[in-house]
Amino acid sequence: MIKKTSAMKNRNTKILVPFILLITVIFLSFTKVLNEDYIATSVISPIEIPEDVKAVLDNKCMGCHSNDAKGGKSKMKMNFDKFTNGDYSTGKTISKLGKITKILNKNKMPPKKFLDKYPDKKLTEEESKLLLNWASKESTILKKE
């Protein structure tokens, strides 16, 4: 049997150490990429809602879609307070802005039943356009961040 001399052990370590270092570097660069992806989706940057948009939301939407709203379902699905207080992640904000665009294009909000009772809460054409422009602009900004 050949006994390993200390010189042989030394040579092995000389090869092994750089090899382990190389693997570690490769591994770390991968985890860094993954981490950056993760951070990108979990980052929170509350947005500021412009005054004119806020005025429309206050008057026509917040009654059902704010922290103070009574309805459970409407508040759960859309809460405009969460856009500005940091409760929605950036990803969630983008997704909610997309939902806003969708329901406005279909004239789905405020709900028809509600409008039968309170016709003055219907969005005017200008108001709808204002909200649509805001949702689209804000979404583009957030996607670039």
**Among 53, 63, 88, 139, interactor with ligand HEC by CB under 6 A:** 63
Cβ proximity to ligand HEC: between 74 and 90 the closer is 74
**Among 90, 93, 110, 134, interactor with ligand HEC by CB under 6 A:** 110
Cβ proximity to ligand HEC: between 14 and 108 the closer is 108
Q: Does residue 77 interact with ligand HEC by CB under 6 A?
A: yes
Cβ proximity to ligand HEC: between 21 and 76 the closer is 76
Q: Does residue 111 interact with ligand HEC by CB under 6 A?
A: yes
Closest CA to 69 of 83, 84, 79, 59: 79
CB 44 within 8 A of CB 141: no
Closest CA to 82 of 57, 52, 104, 106: 57
Which backbone phi and psi does 21 adopt, to 5 degrees? -60, -45
Largest CA distance in the chain: 97
Nearest distance from residue 13's CB to ligand HEC, in Å?
A: 59
- Count of helices and strands (H, E) across the chain: 7, 0
Nearest distance from residue 113's CB to ligand HEC, in Å?
A: 8
Q: Does residue 18 interact with ligand HEC by CB under 6 A?
A: no
Nearest distance from residue 91's CB to ligand HEC, in Å?
A: 14
**Among 66, 81, 84, 114, interactor with ligand HEC by CB under 6 A:** 114
Buried b (16+ CB within 10 A) or exposed e, 50-67: eeebeebbeebbbbbbbe
